[in-house]
Amino acid sequence: MRKENKNSVFQTLGKLRPYVKEHRFDTYMTWIMVLLESVCEVLVAYFMQFLIDSVKAGDGDAIIRFAIIIASMAMVAALTGIMAGYYSASAAAGFGKNMREAMFVKIQDFSFENIDKFSTSSIVTRTTTDVTNVQNAFLMIIRAVIRAPFMMIFSLTMCFVTRWQLAWIYLIIVPFVFAALIVIASLAHPTFVKIFEKYDVLNEEVQENVDGMRVVKSFNLQKKENEKFRKISDFIYRNFVKAERLLAFNGPSLNLAVYGATIAIAIFGAITIVNSGGTEMSVGALSTMITYTMMIMMSLMMVSMVYVMIIIARNSAERIVELVDEKPAIVSPENPVTEIKDGSVEFKNVNFAYNADKYVLKNVNLSFKSGTTVGIIGSTGSSKTTLISLIARLYDVKEGEVKVGGVNVKEYDLTVLRDNVAVVLQKNTLFTGTIKENLMWGNENATEEELWHATDIAQASEFIRSFPDGMNTMIVEGGGNVSGGQKQRLCIARALLKNPKILILDDTTSACDTATDAMIRKQLAAVRPDITKFIISQRILSIKDCDEILVMNEGEVIGRGTDAELRKNCDVYQELVVSQMKGGDFDAAE
Amino acid sequence: MPPSNLRATKGARNMTMVSRKEKRGAIRRLLKYVFRYYPLHFLLVTFCIIVSSSGGVAGSYVVGNVIINNFIMEGEGLSQHIVSPSDFDWNGFNTAIIVLGIIYASAIVCNYLYNWLMSYIGQGVQKRIRDELFAHMQELPVSYFDSRTHGDIMSVFTNDVDALREMLSRVLPMVSQSAMTMTVCFIMMLYTDMSLTAVVIGFGIMIFVLTMIFTKNSSKFFIKQQIELGKTNGYIEEMTSGQKVVKVFNYEKRNIEGFKKHNDNLFKYSVKANRFANILMPTVNQLGNLQYVVLALVGGFMAINEIKGLSLRGFMVIEVGTIVSFLMYSKSFVNPIGQISQQMNVMALALAGATRIFAVIDTPKEKDDGYVELVNAIEGEDGKPIEVKERTGKWAWKHPHSNGSVDYTWLRGHITFTDVDFAYIPGKTVLHDIKMYAEPGQKVAFVGPTGAGKTTITNLINRFYDIEDGKVRYDGININKIKKADLRRSLGIVLQDTKLFTGTVMENIKNGNLDATDEMVYEAARLANADSFIRLLPDGYNTVLTNGGSSLSQGQRQLISIARAAVANPPVMILDEATSSIDSRTEQLVQKGMDAIMKGRTVFVIAHRLSTIQNSDVIMVIDKGRIIERGNHEQLMAEKGKYYQLYTGGVVGK
């Protein structure tokens, strides 16, 4: 997925830059403060040699003078450093916040097609772990991007000023270390990529074993799974050691440079000092040069760390950009129709495929008058859900058109369309919050009375009343504290609150007992006869009283008519009748 | 389990506070791993760290005290002056440089060596812990998995082991190197001058105290940040998994508002936490510079006044070179404090993680006191089984007695429950007084409402749980006496949730019987009605399934899982809602497979479709943990009890 538009690191970073937004000021302040801090720090080092020379000369006044200068410089450095920390914290956190928000807002624009593409866990990883990685890299980069080059240039300059005859040493050493650090990081990178890919495999293995624990135990698979796990674990271990063996060169190469420079300076410095009797170079200058060496190496280290950070953050940044760049497959048209005349539905020569050319709906031609109750039955994979998804424009047809109220769904404003076409999804969800809050998803201005009216129709009032907190009962995430049947009834009530012209129930009473199921249908017919209703079910019982029944098989409508008609002329329907009417269903009581 | 269980694994979970005692315990155990598996590595690492840190410090000493004081300068105190070129001791100087070179070279080599060795220790310990954790997890009782979300368990493997890696491979070497450098510096400082050392100690204490204050504040907000992160995580997780519902309800705007609340809070605490952390470094650095100044002042004053200072070498006059090298030591002494303090949060997270890892490892394994084994056997003259080594296709229970005699009983699949009571949580009995028996080859069905205890009964047969009271016998043997692995080998299980594993179809079916030949797999697949569709898959039996077999239809997955149970050829089968989530047309196909493998076996069926149950030899109606009715279909219908009610209720409105 990512491979197809492989941006360069800088393009990726460039795409993320706008998210600094209102924290631009913080960023600039960070830069200014870091700059000031760095200036003070090098000045401290610069004056240090005079201090040492004064000590050597036994000049008490000079010692105090330089001590005061250095101390005040250090103080300013501390102050600006603290300020830099202060501003960079909010710049980085703000950057992270904006990225997260941009992604979340983007996801809200996603159509079903986009949602299918990204799994929930991948979205969560992107909005959390990936953002954290990029945010940390950002925090480090905005500080180092000023500091490292500045320290390096200044220290080098000062070395030249102090003793240019010796400064050539750095011209040899700096490029060497720089190259070494970059080479090490680049060599290690592919191994790390391999490791992290293997990590996914490892996690998958654990996940499978935790989820399938009963299977593992039933079939005594522990040993086999252990071996499998060990193999993955071994791979990670070996490669990690390999990568770290490379990274272990980092410290030594820095040390090599520092130590090498120190020795070179000691030799040439000593000769210069002794030969000139201290006139060309002072003892203080010698130790200052050594201090500068440390500073140069520190800045090099910073550069290499930034490089590593960028490499690590790169994958994360790409994953963020990928999500933000995702084009919503379905958007409202420019001059949308904002009113839906009635609940009539028409399919004209509709063909549909999720993937390129694997058609799952073939040549569907149907039309239903407003207020019709339509039952849809067929085996799993016969595209029942796909068919009804097109009405609310959850997906777009590949060919042909779907009309609601006589107008192509593509011409409606999406919000208007979806407010009028209420879909109760098969895989439905309740959210953390009270029952009331959940119901108000359907209508945020619903009155108490309206709420109860909807729950009455959905046969949910009785059990809501039986809860001590009634409507204010807290629902836990995913609705885990109500039974499957209760959840389904709440979802139906929630959809009814939208006061739709078309209501689609996608196998939404499967967990209710047959009596409740029948009651819901009866109530719907009695109280809301005007609504066009589509009822998908696996049970003949649930749909046999519909005005019209569609029998679907492998993406085609193979039967259409009333129960009585289909019993006569549709083989598949007859088969279903025979297999189901043989006996009841023991789901019965919840 | 739905993926929603993975919620907030990155955030809130990690924040359960770990007591100091637990942390210490975790450190001790981690070190135990190091000592047990890498004693030699560890010794070498210690040695190398000492050499590498002392090398750096000794180098400073040579530059300052030897090169400057002994060669460049001569005289003492203020009468010190630069030597004339003619007096310069070239030989001595060269030797000093060579010594310096050797010191540095060994420091560099040792630096590399310890980093290299450390990666073995760090990664090795981590690997061992991870392997041990996984192996242990496999042995944990099923009840362990009931009481926590899968996300929580996963998090131990991912987040906690990760935190451990961070600590073992990055923080630990750094901290040990730092600590070593500080120690060496301290000795060198004492060796140089004690009064100056006192100044350094003063600053050290100051920096330490400041660090503690900052870290404490920072970690307070850090924890809040993690909690907010967890909440934001949870919100995103919940809303994203319900994103389709969001779409159909036009809930997007309200959703963004809800998200912003969390995101803004997260931002607030993240800023605060990072501010404290960011402020620490410059403060410590500049205190180091101030210390520099103070040292120069004190040192200079002592040098000017030729005050003798006490050092490990005795009373000595401070020289310029001494001050120079002392300044270096002081810097190397102070720097690590800041560095270590930066890693405090990582350490805290890692130790909390380690504590959780060890908690899993310390959880008692599933108990197995069984001693009755399943062995291959041939039929003796009297019809009694005789144990043999080779595979015979016939099995017998080998039952050793305390007096040394051994009994053999044919494996037949006769199962009895006598007055069985069971409670998941002590005191809350969910099964009461269960009495039942299943003759070999019989089909026993359980029906009843959700939560009545049907699955629980089957879980007792394979000993996922142990009964509280009463007895379960298998071919007349108390199942507590049978080795669990052998007991489970004799039972085949098909669950509603198929749980296929990543791997080929062949491997998945072989999971039922790891010794099975390919031929046996084909046969089992044919029996289960799965062979024909498997052959139509892109790579036939070698088609790789990922993600629990998500590329297959539910019916196909179920057929494979039936083949998996069939290849073991067990005398007893448990089918727990094996067909309930399949539509009735597909079910017919699966049903054929099931009927085929049920033949000649003792079968326990849990199902809610009558067609699956009707032809059972015995149907048990379970309600609230009790068997309230039993008999075959006709008998139960005639009884006009609960079964009748369920049955006719099911067809209400006909």
Phi-psi region of A393 (alpha: psi -120 to 50; beta: other; left: phi over 0): left
Residue A466 lies in a domain: yes
Could you give the CA distance from residue A40 to residue A46 in angstroms, rounded to a whole number? 10
Mean pLDDT across the stretch A375-383?
Answer: 81
Across chain B, what does the average pLDDT equal?
82
Residue A227 lies in a domain: yes
- Please state the length of chain B: 654
Question: Percentage of chain B with pLDDT > 90?
Answer: 11
Q: Does A77 touch chain B (CB under 8 A)?
A: yes
CA B301 remoteness from chain centre: 60
Predicted local confidence at residue B558, as pLDDT: 83
Interface residue A109 vs chain B (CB under 8 A): yes
Of A273, A423, A589, the CB nearest to B248: A423
A262 belongs to a structural domain: yes
Mean pLDDT for the stretch of residues A243-257: 86
Closest Cα in chain B, distance from residue A582 (Å): 7
Give residues 461 to 500 of B whose Cβ lies within 8 Å of A: 462, 464, 485, 488-489, 491, 493, 495, 499
Do both A170 and A35 map to the same domain?
yes
Rounded Cα distance, A228 and A205, in Å? 8
How far apart (Å, rounded) are the C-alpha atoms in residues A444 and B255? 13
To the question of domain B498-569 being in CATH 3.40.50.300, the answer is yes
Last residue of a domain, one of A273, A297, A325: A325
Give the domain ranges of chain B. 20-362, 498-569
Sequence-separated (6 or more) residues with CB below 8 Å from residue B290: A71, A74, A75, B203
Tell whether A541 lies on the interface with B, counting CB pairs under 8 A: yes
Give domain status of residue A588, yes or no. no
pLDDT at B652 over 60: no
CB distance B609–A54 less than 8 Å? no
CA angle, A505 then A507 then A510, to 5°: 125
Contact B249 A494 (CB under 8 A): yes
Residues A394-421: what's their mean pLDDT? 92
Give me the pLDDT at residue B648, please: 64
Quick one: pLDDT at residue A588? Answer: 40
Residues A381 and A422 grouped into a single domain: yes
Judged by CB atoms closer than 8 Å, whether chains meet at A217 and B499 is answered as no
pLDDT at B64 over 60: yes
Whether A560 is covered by a domain: the verdict is: yes
Q: Min CA distance, A399 vs chain B (Å)?
A: 23
Considering only CB atoms, A590 lies closest to which of B100, B450, B488, namely: B450
B115–A225 CB contact, under 8 Å: no
**Window from A14-23, A434-443, B91-100 with minimum mean pLDDT:** A14-23
pLDDT score, position B454:
83
Binary contact (B489, A63; C-beta < 8 A): no
Does A168 share its domain with A310? yes
Does B516 have pLDDT greater than 90?
A: no
CA distances from B61 to A34, B56, B180, B192, B323 (A): 33, 9, 16, 9, 11
- Higher-confidence residue of B125 and A380: namely B125
Please state the rounded mean pLDDT for residues A529-550.
Answer: 89
CA distance A416 to A421: 9
Q: Indicate whether B15 pLDDT > 50.
A: no
The better pLDDT of the pair B423, A13 is held by B423
**Paired tokens of B104:** 């540095």
DSSP B367: P
Pick from A199, A217, A246 the residue to mutate for testing the B interface (most B CBs within 10 Å): A217
Which chain B residues touch A240 with a CB distance below 8 Å?
Answer: 119, 123, 169
Most B CBs within 10 Å, among A87, A109, A219, A286, to test the B interface = A219
Nearest-by-Cβ selection for B279 from A86, A234, A498: A86
Determine which of A324-338, A349-363, A521-535 has the lowest per-residue pLDDT on average.
Answer: A349-363
Q: Taking CB atoms and an 8 Å limit, are A514 and B653 in contact across chains? A: yes
Q: Is B502 on the interface with A (CB under 8 A)?
A: yes
CB contact under 8 Å between B244 and A64, yes or no, is: no
A493-512 confidence digits (pLDDT tens): 999 999 999 999 988 887 77
Interchain CB contact of B568 with A (< 8 Å): yes
pLDDT tens, B592-639? 777 778 888 889 988 766 767 888 899 988 888 888 888 888 888 888
Q: Determine the residue among A34, A37, A68, A104 to mutate to test chain B binding: the one whose Cβ has the most chain B Cβ atoms within 10 Å.
A: A104
Per mean pLDDT, which range of B38-42, B202-206, B263-267, B378-382 is the poorest? B378-382
**Which residues on chain A are in Cβ contact (under 8 Å) with B567?**
none
**Which of B138, B554, B611 is most worth mutating to test chain A (most A CB atoms within 10 A of its CB)?**
B138
- Look at residue B216 in the predicted model and tell me its pLDDT: 79
What is the least distance, in Å, from the CA of B402 to any CA of chain A? 28
Q: Is A468 on the interface with B (CB under 8 A)?
A: no
Q: Is residue A256 located within the same domain as residue A352?
A: no
pLDDT at B473 over 60: yes
| pLDDT mean over B24-35 | 88
Distance CA B189, CA B194 (A): 7
Both A312 and A354 in one domain: the answer is no
Query: Are A305 and A380 members of one domain?
Result: no
Distance from C-alpha of A207 to C-alpha of B499, rounded to nearest angstrom? 11
pLDDT digits (tens, 9 = 90+) for A311-352: 778 778 888 998 899 898 888 899 999 999 999 999 999 999
B404 and A CB contact within 8 Å: no
Question: Which chain B positions have a beta carbon within 8 Å of A101's beta carbon?
Answer: 259-260, 263
Has residue A537 got a pLDDT over 90? Answer: no
Which whole number is the average pLDDT over B474-497? 86
* pLDDT range class, residue B3, cuts 50, 70, 90: very low
**pLDDT tens digits along A105-158:** 999 989 888 887 777 777 877 887 788 888 888 888 888 888 888 888 888 888
Q: What does the pLDDT read at residue B40? A: 93
Q: Are residues A319 and A457 in the same domain?
A: no
My answer on whether A256 and A387 are in the same domain is no
DSSP states along B393-451: S-EEEEEE-TTS-EEEEE----EEEEEEEEESSTT-EEEEEEEEEE-TT-EEEEE-STT
Query: B448 contacts in A (CB within 8 Å)?
Result: 586
User: Which one, of A30, A85, A164, A112, lies nearest residue A426 by Cα?
Assistant: A112
Number of domains in chain A: 2
pLDDT in tens, A272-320: 888 887 777 777 777 778 778 878 877 887 887 787 777 778 778 888 9
User: A100-104, A279-283, B340-344: lowest mean pLDDT where?
Assistant: B340-344
Residue B493, CB-side half-sphere exposure with 13 Å CA sphere: 28
pLDDT at A212 over 50: yes
Question: Are β-strands B469-474 and B443-447 bridged in parallel, bridged antiparallel, or unpaired?
Answer: unpaired
Look at the block and give the residue holding tokens 């240019």.
A164
Closest CA in chain A for residue B566:
A219
A245 CB neighbours in chain B (<8 A) are 116, 119
Cα–chain-centroid distance for residue A219? Answer: 37
Shared domain for A423 and A312, answered yes or no, is no
pLDDT confidence of residue B195: 83
B374 pLDDT tier (thresholds 50, 70, 90) = confident
pLDDT in tens, B128-175: 999 999 999 888 888 888 777 676 777 788 778 877 877 877 777 778
**Chain A residues touching residue B651 (CB < 8 angstroms):** 514, 581, 583-584
Query: Nearest-5° angle of CA B165, CA B171, CA B177?
Result: 135
Question: Same structural domain for residues A275 and A312?
Answer: yes
Per-residue model confidence (pLDDT) at position B651: 39
pLDDT for position B582: 63
Q: Is B320 on the interface with A (CB under 8 A)?
A: yes
Nearest chain B Cα to A494, which residue?
B249
The class that CATH gives domain B20-362 is mainly alpha
pLDDT range class, residue B11, cuts 50, 70, 90: very low
Flag whether residue B515 sits within 8 Å of chain A, measured between CB atoms.
no
pLDDT at A9: 66
Residues 11-50 of A with CB under 8 A from B: 37, 41, 44, 48
Domain containing residue A290 = 3-325
- In this structure, the answer to whether residues A484 and A538 fall within a common structural domain is yes
Task: Write down the mean pLDDT value for chain A.
Answer: 85
Is A571 touching B (CB cutoff 8 A)? no
Report yes or no on A330 lying in a domain: no
Find which of B274, B546, B572, B611 to mutate to test the A interface (most A CBs within 10 Å of its CB). B274
Assigned domain for A537 exists: yes
ipTM over 0.90? The verdict is no
Q: Do A93 and B300 touch (CB under 8 A)?
A: no
Quickly state the pLDDT bin for A2 (edges 50, 70, 90): very low
Q: Is the same domain home to A318 and A363?
A: no
Is A249 an 8 Å CB contact of chain B? yes
Whether the pLDDT of residue B235 is over 80: the answer is yes
Weakest-pLDDT range from A364-368, B6-10, B90-94, B520-524? B6-10
Question: Which residues does chain B have within 8 Å of residue A93's beta carbon, measured at their own beta carbons?
Answer: 267, 270-271, 274
**pTM of full prediction above 0.80:** no
Judged by CB atoms within 8 Å, which residues 278-317 of A form the interface with B? 278, 283, 286-287, 290
Inter-axis angle of helices B252-304 and B320-342, nearest 10: 160
**A206-220, A410-424, A426-440, range with the lowest pLDDT:** A206-220
Q: What CATH number is given to the structural domain containing A545? A: 3.40.50.300
